[in-house]
Amino acid sequence: RSKDEGGNKHHGYEPKLHMHAEERRIMEIALRKALANDEFTLNFQPIVRAEREEICGFEVLLRWHNPELGHVSPAKFIPLAEDARLIVPIGRWVLENACKEAMNWPVDTKLSVNVSAGQLSDPNFMTILIEALSSSGLPPQRLDIEVTESIFLHEGTMAIDVLDKILSLGVGLSLDDFGTGYSSLGYLRKTRFTNIKIDRSFVQGAARDVPESLAIVRAVVALADSLGMSTTAEGVEDEAEARRLTDLGCKKIQGYYYGRPMPADEASQLFTLQQRKSA
């Protein structure tokens, strides 16, 4: 709130910025009531084991539909929820409901959940996480937490402690959107990530033979291999890209080619279809 009212940089004179602040204000008011009004749903996007082309899990992606605002993209409302400190209750809802849903899937599959810096710095985060696991019955080994490089900027050493606690439960830890952030390799030494998700920009560059992207994907895969981490290629949109990233040694593939984010019932049907095919 103080961000909008204080620092009178914008002052409301610049029409575009004024619109932007007004849009934000309206959206924040709606977001405060969204949980109570049942406006959130969960979508699930398949993650595929590269060499066998079979689904090994799903990433849960939050969706918000408000009667006045319509569908709002997470790219818009997640940063807003972070600023307004609403990410803690919203993130808790996601964790609890996604863990319950994953109990309907085969036991050798995993659930990936995105977690923001503001959740990791919440003193109750570990309690919330443990409670989500125990109340659903989901074994910790079936859960992966995805964080981006930005958490290291915001939270300093505190984030590293929480990451260690998450790992000590047996929960996996993925470094999301790798390559788009600050790309200091220091935190790969400080934290034992179990997986690196290579950002779509490098994935698509590598598939189009952009030399720099190719070099970066090769280097990241080699680094991950030698540190005992797996790699996921994000944003794979066609067969050629899937083949290319598999050949480059990525262990897992995710993207529209294998499936868009979909409602929970469609996600569990994919498992049934796959089991029938392999039977």
Tokens 């004179």 found at: 13
Assess 99 for contact with ligand C2E (CB under 6 A). no
Counting runs of H as helices and runs of E as strands, what totals does the chain give?
Answer: 13, 10
What DSSP assignment string belongs to 90-132?
HHHHHHHHHHHHHTTS-TT-EEEEE--HHHHTSTTHHHHHHHH
Picking from 138, 115, 125, 113, the residue whose alpha carbon sits closest to that of residue 59 is: 113
Count the site residues for ligand C2E by CB under 6 A: 22
By beta-carbon proximity to ligand C2E, the closer residue of 14 and 266 is 266
Look at residue 62 and give the partner it binds from Mg ion, ligand C2E, none, a contact being a CB closer than 5 to 8 Å depending on partner kind: ligand C2E
Q: Which of 30, 66, 235, 248 binds ligand C2E (CB under 6 A)?
A: 235
In the complex with ligand C2E, the residue whose CB is nearer, 34 or 236, is 236
- Does 176 help bind ligand C2E (rule: CB under 6 A)? yes
> By CB under 6 A, what part of segment 110-149 binds ligand C2E?
114-116, 146
**261 lies in the binding site for ligand C2E (CB under 6 A):** yes
Question: Taking the complex as a whole, how short is the minimal distance between the CB of residue 130 and ligand C2E, in angstroms?
Answer: 18
Long-range contacts of 243-246 (CB under 8 A, 24+ apart): 244/206, 244/207, 245/50, 245/203, 245/206, 245/207, 245/217, 246/50, 246/51
Instruction: Please say which residue, 114 or 195, places its beta carbon nearer to ligand C2E.
Output: 114
What is the distance of C-alpha 144 from the center of its chain? Answer: 10
Q: Does 245 bind ligand C2E (CB under 6 A)?
A: no
Among 30, 55, 61, 88, binds ligand C2E (CB under 6 A): 61
Q: Element (H or E) spanning 78, and its range?
A: helix 74-83
Instruction: Tell me how far the alpha carbon of residue 72 is from its chain's centroid.
Output: 17
Q: Give contact residues for ligand C2E (rule: CB under 6 A).
A: 45, 61-62, 73-75, 78, 91, 94, 114-116, 146, 176-177, 200, 235-237, 255-256, 261
